[in-house]
Amino acid sequence: MGRLKDAWHALRGYAAAQDIRRGVAATTAEVKDELRSQIRSGSFRGERVLANAWRSRVYPERDNGTWKPAGLVTSAAPQIHQSLDRGSPITARGAKYLAIPSSLNRIPGGRGQAMRLRVTPQQMTPGAGAFFLKRKNGPGLLWCLTVTGNRGGRGQGRVSINTGGVALFTGRGKGRAANIRAALDRGWVVMFTLVPSVQPRKVLDIEGVRRSIPARLLRNISAALA
């Protein structure tokens, strides 16, 4: 009878430890989701990528009945997130300019995936047709590539970039042909905007989220144990 009682208490203890871990996991996910939501509410270029740069893990990764689980929320872009938290300028480390890809050069990633570039800065060489233009409305430069393509027929939906055979699509819809004609008449497209710094507005409140953790944790563990 004593062994059965001990086994019963052990099972109850293990179940309680599992509930605590579930509460920690729920709190960790809440904190990550809150930080991501704050980024998304900023409605600025690249917000989805920066939102997904918040990552979370729960330790141990496998539920082993520990009474001391832990959750960790980290940033894959800490400098940018700190700038968005402080509203301080973002500058290029060890370089004169930040290279901001144009909408034409960006390939949106899928869910949870980072944005990709059609043409990377490493491909932007004079031999590939790259050149610079001064910006009209601010400091910095436009980093451009010369283009070639067809004005009609099946090739009308594509502008060919003379760097490694990369082809850029301007998108679908009524404005597609006009965009292509404009690019071909001009003879070049902007691939990056080079600026000395970017002044973001404050969109993150990391300290506020941090202060909310004890209350979130108490609520989620209590709910899991109920």
The domain of 181 spans 90-198
116 and 81 inside one domain: no
CB under 8 A, 24+ apart: contacts of 110-119: 112/52, 113/52, 114/49, 114/52, 115/46, 115/48, 115/49, 118/161, 118/166, 118/168, 119/145, 119/161, 119/163, 119/166, 119/191
User: Token digits for 63?
Assistant: 């539920």
pLDDT digit string, tens, across residues 177-205? 677 677 778 888 888 999 888 777 888 99
Average per-residue pLDDT in the chain?
79
184 and 205 inside one domain: no
120 and 61 inside one domain: no
Given pLDDT bands bounded at 50, 70 and 90, which one contains residue 157?
A: low
| Rg of the chain, C-alpha, whole Å | 25
Given pLDDT bands bounded at 50, 70 and 90, which one contains residue 54?
A: very high
Task: Report d(CA 49, CA 46) in Å as an integer.
Answer: 5
Q: Is it the case that residue 2 has pLDDT exceeding 50?
A: no
pLDDT at 38: 93
Least confident of 5-14, 25-34, 66-75, 157-166: 5-14
Query: From the centroid of its chain, how far is CA 141?
Result: 24
Residues listed for the chain: 226
pLDDT at 7: 41
pLDDT at 170: 54
**pTM of this structure:** 0.59
CB under 8 A, 24+ apart: contacts of 104-112: 104/168, 104/170, 104/189, 104/190, 104/191, 105/168, 105/191, 105/192, 108/48, 109/49, 112/52
149 and 104 inside one domain: yes
Q: What are phi and psi of 128, to 5 degrees?
A: -90, 0
Average pLDDT over residues 70-78: 93
Name the residue among 102, 96, 97 with its Cα closest to residue 195.
97
CB atoms within 10 A of CB 144: 20
Q: Is it the case that residue 53 has pLDDT exceeding 50?
A: yes
183 and 219 inside one domain: no
46 and 24 inside one domain: yes
pLDDT digit string, tens, across residues 18-41? 889 999 999 999 999 999 999 988
Counting the structural domains of the chain, the total is: 2
pLDDT at 136: 85
25 and 68 inside one domain: yes
